[in-house]
Amino acid sequence: MSGSFDDLTVGSVIPLGVIMLDRRAVESFCQLFAPDWNVEDGAPDAMVYAIWSRLEADAARNDAPSGKRLAVDALRWVRNPPIGELLRGRMTIMGLDPVGESKGVVIAQHDLLDEAGRLVFSCLTRSVVGRA
């Protein structure tokens, strides 16, 4: 996330990007990290988390506000997306708490959605972000 704390507003939604679940990626992930998982059941929970983490990290390098991550809470897995699914990430600013003149705490909800807009995964984060 490259924006500053002062550029953010509660309720704003920041896109985190999209990623396609291809068979090779799911099979490779399962082989290494979830050997008992049947890939026909979709992406396992650990891979869904890794996908969100990747989208969020990519967005942080581009144009979403970034800083030191304090916490990832309220993780919720709703479904295991099938191979071929296009997943979209978004971050919604839920709260802003200035901490002095140089930084502030950003509370955000992160969602990973499938092509139909259904929730796949969500979590809440708290991060310290620099002020302008």
Which CATH number covers residue 43?
3.10.129.10
Q: Is the pLDDT score of 1 beyond 70?
A: no
Count up the domains in the chain and report the number.
1
Query: For residue 100, what are the domain limits?
Result: 5-130
Q: Please report, for residues 34, 38, 44, 52, the alpha-carbon distance to residue 27 in angstroms, rounded to integers and kept in the order given.
A: 9, 9, 10, 18
- pTM summary value: 0.90
CB atoms within 10 A of CB 12: 12
pLDDT digits (tens, 9 = 90+) for 41-87: 999 999 999 999 999 988 887 765 667 889 999 999 999 999 999 99
